[in-house]
Chains A and B, each alone.
Chain A
Amino acid sequence: GNSVTQMEGPVTLSEEAFLTINCTYTATGYPSLFWYVQYPGEGLQLLLKATKADDKGSNKGFEATYRKETTSFHLEKGSVQVSDSAVYFCALSGYTGTASKLTFGTGTRLQVTL
Protein backbone atom coordinates (compact mmCIF):
# COMPACT_ATOMS: atom_id res chain seq x y z
CA GLY A 1 0.00 0.00 0.00
CA ASN A 2 0.88 3.66 -0.10
CA SER A 3 2.97 5.18 2.65
CA VAL A 4 4.79 8.41 3.48
CA THR A 5 7.83 8.76 5.74
CA GLN A 6 8.87 12.13 7.16
CA MET A 7 11.82 13.15 9.27
CA GLU A 8 10.99 13.34 12.94
CA GLY A 9 10.78 16.66 14.67
CA PRO A 10 10.86 19.01 16.21
CA VAL A 11 13.11 20.95 13.91
CA THR A 12 14.36 24.06 15.66
CA LEU A 13 15.91 26.85 13.60
CA SER A 14 16.88 30.45 14.04
CA GLU A 15 15.14 33.02 11.91
CA GLU A 16 16.62 33.33 8.40
CA ALA A 17 18.10 29.82 8.53
CA PHE A 18 17.72 27.35 5.66
CA LEU A 19 15.04 24.70 6.08
CA THR A 20 14.86 21.16 4.76
CA ILE A 21 12.21 18.67 5.82
CA ASN A 22 12.72 15.26 4.27
CA CYS A 23 9.86 13.22 2.84
CA THR A 24 10.00 9.89 1.02
CA TYR A 25 7.13 7.82 -0.24
CA THR A 26 6.06 4.39 -1.40
CA ALA A 27 3.25 4.18 -3.90
CA THR A 28 1.93 2.31 -6.86
CA GLY A 29 1.52 4.20 -10.07
CA TYR A 30 2.17 7.93 -10.28
CA PRO A 31 0.68 9.75 -7.32
CA SER A 32 0.44 13.48 -6.82
CA LEU A 33 2.47 14.79 -3.90
CA PHE A 34 1.51 17.49 -1.42
CA TRP A 35 2.77 19.47 1.52
CA TYR A 36 0.19 20.65 4.02
CA VAL A 37 0.82 23.02 6.92
CA GLN A 38 -1.06 23.10 10.21
CA TYR A 39 -0.75 26.20 12.38
CA PRO A 40 -1.65 25.92 16.07
CA GLY A 41 -5.38 25.48 16.58
CA GLU A 42 -6.14 25.44 12.87
CA GLY A 43 -6.93 22.88 10.19
CA LEU A 44 -4.56 21.73 7.49
CA GLN A 45 -3.83 24.12 4.65
CA LEU A 46 -2.41 23.10 1.32
CA LEU A 47 1.05 24.62 1.00
CA LEU A 48 2.15 23.26 -2.37
CA LYS A 49 1.79 20.31 -4.69
CA ALA A 50 3.38 18.51 -7.64
CA THR A 51 1.54 16.18 -9.96
CA LYS A 52 4.29 14.50 -11.97
CA ALA A 53 7.98 13.66 -11.89
CA ASP A 54 10.40 16.62 -11.91
CA ASP A 55 7.59 19.08 -11.19
CA LYS A 56 8.49 21.74 -8.62
CA GLY A 57 5.75 23.03 -6.36
CA SER A 58 6.28 26.40 -4.72
CA ASN A 59 4.39 28.79 -2.46
CA LYS A 60 5.29 31.46 0.13
CA GLY A 61 9.01 30.83 -0.39
CA PHE A 62 8.69 27.08 0.12
CA GLU A 63 9.66 24.65 -2.63
CA ALA A 64 9.59 20.89 -3.20
CA THR A 65 10.55 18.86 -6.25
CA TYR A 66 8.93 15.55 -7.19
CA ARG A 67 11.85 13.12 -7.51
CA LYS A 68 10.66 9.81 -8.91
CA GLU A 69 14.12 8.22 -8.97
CA THR A 70 14.56 8.72 -5.22
CA THR A 71 10.81 8.66 -4.38
CA SER A 72 11.24 11.90 -2.47
CA PHE A 73 9.53 15.26 -2.09
CA HIS A 74 11.69 17.24 0.33
CA LEU A 75 10.42 20.63 1.50
CA GLU A 76 12.87 23.55 1.45
CA LYS A 77 12.87 27.23 2.28
CA GLY A 78 15.84 29.52 1.98
CA SER A 79 15.09 31.79 4.93
CA VAL A 80 12.54 30.84 7.57
CA GLN A 81 10.56 33.28 9.69
CA VAL A 82 9.04 32.94 13.13
CA SER A 83 5.62 32.88 11.46
CA ASP A 84 6.59 29.63 9.70
CA SER A 85 6.43 27.78 13.02
CA ALA A 86 3.86 25.04 12.45
CA VAL A 87 3.52 21.32 11.74
CA TYR A 88 4.23 20.26 8.17
CA PHE A 89 2.67 17.14 6.63
CA CYS A 90 3.80 15.41 3.48
CA ALA A 91 1.06 13.51 1.65
CA LEU A 92 0.42 11.60 -1.51
CA SER A 93 -2.77 10.93 -3.39
CA GLY A 94 -3.84 7.65 -4.86
CA TYR A 95 -6.83 8.01 -7.09
CA THR A 96 -9.86 5.93 -6.33
CA GLY A 97 -12.64 6.72 -8.69
CA THR A 98 -12.90 10.41 -9.34
CA ALA A 99 -11.45 11.75 -6.13
CA SER A 100 -8.13 11.46 -4.45
CA LYS A 101 -7.41 9.50 -1.31
CA LEU A 102 -4.64 11.14 0.70
CA THR A 103 -2.06 9.25 2.70
CA PHE A 104 -0.23 11.46 5.19
CA GLY A 105 3.08 11.26 6.95
CA THR A 106 3.25 11.75 10.70
CA GLY A 107 4.12 15.43 10.45
CA THR A 108 7.22 17.44 11.34
CA ARG A 109 7.00 20.26 13.83
CA LEU A 110 9.06 23.34 12.95
CA GLN A 111 9.99 25.87 15.61
CA VAL A 112 11.64 29.09 14.47
CA THR A 113 13.20 31.35 17.08
CA LEU A 114 14.51 34.91 16.92
Chain B
Amino acid sequence: AQTVTQSQPEMSVQEAETVTLSCTYDTSESDYYLFWYKQPPSRQMILVIRQEAYKQQNATENRFSVNFQKAAKSFSLKISDSQLGDAAMYFCAYRSYKIGNQFYFGTGTSLTVIP
Protein backbone atom coordinates (compact mmCIF):
# COMPACT_ATOMS: atom_id res chain seq x y z
CA ALA B 1 0.00 0.00 0.00
CA GLN B 2 1.09 3.52 -0.65
CA THR B 3 2.28 5.50 2.34
CA VAL B 4 1.54 9.16 2.90
CA THR B 5 3.19 10.79 5.89
CA GLN B 6 2.28 14.02 7.59
CA SER B 7 4.77 14.59 10.37
CA GLN B 8 3.06 17.60 11.93
CA PRO B 9 0.00 16.56 13.94
CA GLU B 10 -0.69 20.18 14.91
CA MET B 11 0.30 23.57 13.58
CA SER B 12 -0.69 27.09 14.46
CA VAL B 13 -0.39 30.39 12.60
CA GLN B 14 -1.22 33.99 13.32
CA GLU B 15 -3.95 35.49 11.23
CA ALA B 16 -2.54 37.06 8.03
CA GLU B 17 0.72 35.12 8.36
CA THR B 18 1.99 32.25 6.23
CA VAL B 19 2.18 28.59 7.24
CA THR B 20 3.55 25.51 5.51
CA LEU B 21 2.21 22.01 6.06
CA SER B 22 4.47 19.08 5.20
CA CYS B 23 3.72 15.84 3.42
CA THR B 24 5.92 13.05 2.11
CA TYR B 25 4.85 9.94 0.26
CA ASP B 26 6.27 6.68 -0.90
CA THR B 27 5.74 5.38 -4.41
CA SER B 28 7.53 3.62 -7.23
CA GLU B 29 5.24 5.08 -9.88
CA SER B 30 5.95 8.03 -12.09
CA ASP B 31 2.40 9.08 -12.90
CA TYR B 32 0.10 9.95 -10.02
CA TYR B 33 -1.87 12.74 -8.42
CA LEU B 34 -1.42 14.46 -5.10
CA PHE B 35 -4.04 16.38 -3.19
CA TRP B 36 -4.58 18.52 -0.16
CA TYR B 37 -8.01 18.24 1.42
CA LYS B 38 -9.39 20.38 4.22
CA GLN B 39 -11.81 18.97 6.80
CA PRO B 40 -13.47 21.64 8.94
CA PRO B 41 -15.62 20.78 11.98
CA SER B 42 -18.53 20.17 9.61
CA ARG B 43 -16.57 16.99 8.67
CA GLN B 44 -16.96 17.47 4.93
CA MET B 45 -13.70 16.97 3.04
CA ILE B 46 -13.06 19.91 0.73
CA LEU B 47 -10.48 19.88 -2.04
CA VAL B 48 -7.91 22.62 -1.53
CA ILE B 49 -5.46 21.93 -4.32
CA ARG B 50 -4.17 19.13 -6.50
CA GLN B 51 -0.97 18.39 -8.36
CA GLU B 52 -0.35 16.08 -11.28
CA ALA B 53 3.01 14.39 -10.94
CA TYR B 54 4.02 14.82 -14.57
CA LYS B 55 3.57 18.58 -14.32
CA GLN B 56 6.70 20.24 -12.99
CA GLN B 57 4.99 23.54 -12.28
CA ASN B 58 3.69 23.85 -8.74
CA ALA B 59 -0.07 24.20 -8.46
CA THR B 60 -1.56 27.40 -7.06
CA GLU B 61 -5.11 28.24 -5.98
CA ASN B 62 -5.45 31.78 -4.67
CA ARG B 63 -3.78 31.84 -1.22
CA PHE B 64 -2.85 28.15 -1.42
CA SER B 65 0.21 26.85 -3.21
CA VAL B 66 2.27 23.70 -3.14
CA ASN B 67 5.95 22.90 -3.27
CA PHE B 68 6.14 19.64 -5.20
CA GLN B 69 9.52 17.94 -5.11
CA LYS B 70 9.08 14.74 -7.12
CA ALA B 71 12.53 13.31 -6.57
CA ALA B 72 12.27 13.88 -2.83
CA LYS B 73 8.65 12.66 -2.82
CA SER B 74 7.62 15.75 -0.94
CA PHE B 75 4.42 17.76 -1.33
CA SER B 76 4.02 20.68 1.07
CA LEU B 77 1.13 23.12 1.25
CA LYS B 78 1.70 26.82 1.81
CA ILE B 79 -1.16 28.95 3.04
CA SER B 80 -0.57 32.68 2.66
CA ASP B 81 -2.45 35.46 4.44
CA SER B 82 -4.04 32.93 6.78
CA GLN B 83 -7.66 33.52 7.68
CA LEU B 84 -9.76 32.29 10.60
CA GLY B 85 -11.73 30.16 8.17
CA ASP B 86 -8.59 28.22 7.31
CA ALA B 87 -8.68 26.51 10.69
CA ALA B 88 -9.30 22.81 10.01
CA MET B 89 -7.70 19.40 9.63
CA TYR B 90 -5.64 19.19 6.48
CA PHE B 91 -5.05 15.87 4.78
CA CYS B 92 -2.50 15.08 2.12
CA ALA B 93 -3.60 12.36 -0.29
CA TYR B 94 -2.21 10.24 -3.12
CA ARG B 95 -4.01 8.67 -6.05
CA SER B 96 -2.86 6.75 -9.09
CA TYR B 97 -4.27 4.64 -11.90
CA LYS B 98 -2.17 1.61 -11.09
CA ILE B 99 -3.52 1.13 -7.59
CA GLY B 100 -7.14 1.79 -8.40
CA ASN B 101 -9.09 4.93 -7.91
CA GLN B 102 -8.88 5.21 -4.14
CA PHE B 103 -7.18 7.92 -2.15
CA TYR B 104 -4.39 7.13 0.26
CA PHE B 105 -4.54 9.74 2.99
CA GLY B 106 -2.00 10.95 5.50
CA THR B 107 -2.87 11.20 9.18
CA GLY B 108 -3.67 14.89 8.96
CA THR B 109 -2.45 18.17 10.41
CA SER B 110 -4.71 20.19 12.66
CA LEU B 111 -4.27 23.87 11.83
CA THR B 112 -5.21 26.54 14.35
CA VAL B 113 -5.41 30.17 13.25
CA ILE B 114 -4.76 32.65 16.05
CA PRO B 115 -6.57 35.99 15.77
Report if A and B associate in a common complex: no
* B-to-A contact residues, CB < 8 Å: none
* A-to-B contact residues, CB < 8 Å: none
